[in-house]
Chains A and B, each alone.
Chain A
Amino acid sequence: MSTVFIALQTNEDTRPIVEAIVQDNPSAVVNEQPAMVKIDANDKLVVRRETIEELIGRPYDLQELQINLITMSGNLDQTDDEMVLYWNA
């Protein structure tokens, strides 16, 4: 097992995104650090557009994440509907 992670700035834009990630990834662990939030998961982490849209009540383009991203690890695959981070091993 390997850890993948994503870190976002702590702000009102990212609060529902963190909530969506926690909903969609049972292994997600949220670490709150000064001004940032780092979310670790086992082997794979999915950010789903639909879950975010349900929480914020408006259409959302996953590329908006660019604005508040701090760092990430793992191989990435992004489409219109989801952003997936994963390790193969």
Chain B
Amino acid sequence: MDMQVAKKKLGLKERYAVMTRGLDWTPSYQKMEDIYPYIAYEGIKIHDWDKWEDPFRLTMDAYWKYQAEKERKLYAIIDAFAQNNGHLNVTDARYLNTVKLFISGISPLEYVAHRGFAHAGRQFPGPGPRVACLMQSLDEIRHAQTQVHAISNYNKYYNGMHDFHHAHDRVWFLSVPKSFFDDAITAGPFEFMVSIGFSFEYVLTNLLFVPFVSGAAYNGDMGTMTFGFSAQSDEARHMTLGLEVIKFILQQDPANVPIVQRWIDKWTWRGYRVLTLVAMMMDYMLPKRTMSWKEAWEVYFEENGGALFKDLARYGIKMPDCAAQIALEKDHLSHQAWSTFYNYAAAANFHTWMPDEDEMAWLSSKYPESYDKYYRPRMEYWREEAAKGNRFYNKTLPMLCQTCQIPMIFTEPGDPTKLCYREVDYKGDKYHFCSDHCKKIFEDEPEKYVQAWLPVHQIYQGNCFPEGTDPTVEGFDPLAAVLKYYNLEFGRDNLDFEVSEDRKNFAEWRGQATKNV
């Protein structure tokens, strides 16, 4: 690329001031509180909105210029990828399951983020944050669109992606990312900015996008790599804005500090629980691995997050308490998650499998404290059983955590042999939690979380069958009815990778790509 650099009449700081200040007027016949109805109830006090500044000093004209360039690059690569049968260049067909997880679990969140930033931007009386929210809202819809476009190339050939948005709203484990974002957009505008702008973008997206996208590149997936990097170039800006928003709120009034601390504690934990899916993606689903979940956590959270919280200490903000429990879980998280998905492969929109001998050796080397002792024996057992024709599929439904909606699979902090259960009685009902942190989040806002749409409860209540289903008839098969409701086909979209159509087709097509048939 050789971009033209025009001689600027004003410096960057002046251009930013001209384009983002003095755009407002004082209303004369409407009250401010009627125009900005959500700005006061969270208790955050802002005295001077002009103190908020985008450190990139990006103005709308520059935004269009650089975003247009990113789009041109992206679509040129997507075309080349499709024209060159790029889908056959991935390391092996197991990799495709990370793409399925991405399109059904993450891409719909990009769209909700678009709506969330449009909403939050509208609510802020300051033009600086409003312009930044507008840009981020546009970025997020761009991400949703480019991911759908890039992944549609895979959907032409492989299963499980055909109705990703329908799946996102229904499939049991997809309620984990969905409810995370629903929680954020139904909060007030300041909490939304702290949850997504700060905790998710600044503290956690490095773990989602950087190792995953680098992993996609390493596994020969040019399509995902290119949309990932294109999105990530926007994320770098979002992270910076997220940090800036936090500093701005904290600087405006000391009374804001405890409110913000509670949000940081809550959303670090909420985000970390969603990253359970990323942990297993990194350790089990990428055929060629770049780094382990544990290593990524150490670089991007412990080291980088540590530096961040040291910096924020001058405002009175401290590292969230949950970090101590997360540190105990990092040797276990991905193994517990993958074991669960292996169990429930009949009810998912992607395939699972047991790692082969080399992969188990890699896991042992990355997790010397935990893998051989706690997880290898059970995985070897499952592998042996599968070889004998007894591939295990769990037909019962798990109990879910009321807050994070993940099955209650996690073990007690410090004791990986004992499942962790917590419960709360509230207005005559009992609610269950996977951890002290999810329990505390519920206790702070019970009226919000009693409304959670928990997939397992909904299945048992008969709300997840196609219309007209009669569950009382002789021989009723609940799993078959639930899969119909999910719009997934038994034996094609689900079950073990070994018996999948994807595996068979990929091998056949790759063969055709390398010799004359």
Contacts and interface: CB of A to CB of B under 8 A. Distances in A.
A5 B308 CA distance: 12
B290 A89 contact: no
A3 B307 contact: yes
B307 A35 contact: no
A75 B55 contact: yes
Contacts of A74: 307
B10 to A, nearest CB: 10
Contact of B12 (A9, A34, A79, A87): A79
Nearest to B222: A35
Contacts of A75: 55, 243, 247, 311
A20 interface: no
Interface in B31-82: 55-58, 62, 66, 69-70, 73
B55 A35 contact: no
A35 B214 contact: yes
Contact of B5 (A9, A59, A72, A79): A59
Nearest to B309: A89
Contact of B311 (A2, A9, A70, A78): A2
B12 to A, nearest CB: 5
Interface residues of A, number: 35
Q: Is the interface of A mostly helix, strand, loop or mixed?
A: mixed
B240 A2 contact: no
B217 A35 contact: yes
Given A66-B66, A78-B55, A72 B304 contact: no
Given A34-B290, A71-B235, A78-B12, A2 B210 contact: no
B233 A69 contact: yes
A68 interface: yes
B56 A76 contact: yes
Contacts of B57: 78-79
Contacts of B240: 72, 76
Given A87-B307, A87-B310, A67 B1 contact: yes
Nearest to B240: A76
Contact of B214 (A4, A33, A89): A33
Given A2-B310, A70-B232, A89-B313, 7 more contacts: A2-B311, A33-B214, A61-B5, A66-B56, A71-B209, A73-B206, A76-B55
30 contacts: A4-B307, A13-B1, A33-B214, A34-B290, A35-B213, A35-B218, A36-B210, A36-B213, A36-B229, A58-B5, A63-B62, A66-B56, A66-B70, A67-B1, A67-B66, A69-B233, A70-B232, A70-B233, A71-B232, A73-B206, A75-B243, A76-B56, A76-B240, A77-B55, A78-B12, A79-B11, A80-B11, A87-B308, A88-B314, A89-B313
